[in-house]
């Protein structure tokens, strides 16, 4: 779409991503966690990057009062 309108092309995506693989039933609301298809696309397109939206899952790695999504 960008190319057809002569607009600047997308070069990154900001997606919920974490080093943990969330449970398939995890509820992140309307946002979908980064999946293997998206990660593979970014690896195969050097001009495209992924930016982590919530790499620490709102403190779940460091705060005992924050549970990991289930």
Angstrom distance (rounded) from CA 54 to CA 29: 13
Angstrom distance (rounded) from CA 70 to CA 49: 27
Coil, strand, or helix at residue 50? strand
Report the run of H or E that residue 49 belongs to, with start and end: strand 49-52
Other Cβ atoms within 10 Å of 44 Cβ, number: 8
This prediction has a pTM of 0.48
- Looking at residue 55, its pLDDT comes to 62
Angstrom distance (rounded) from CA 11 to CA 61: 29
pLDDT digits (tens, 9 = 90+) for 11-57: 877 776 665 666 777 776 666 677 788 888 888 988 888 777 766 66
């Amino acid at each position: 779409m960008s190319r057809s309108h002569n607009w600047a092309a997308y070069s990154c995506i900001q997606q919920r991503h974490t080093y943990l693989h969330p449970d398939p039933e995890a509820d992140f609301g309307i946002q979908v966690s980064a999946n293997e298809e998206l990660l593979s696309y970014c690896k195969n397109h050097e001009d495209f990057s992924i930016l982590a939206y919530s790499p620490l899952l709102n403190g779940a790695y460091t705060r005992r009062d924050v549970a990991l999504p289930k």
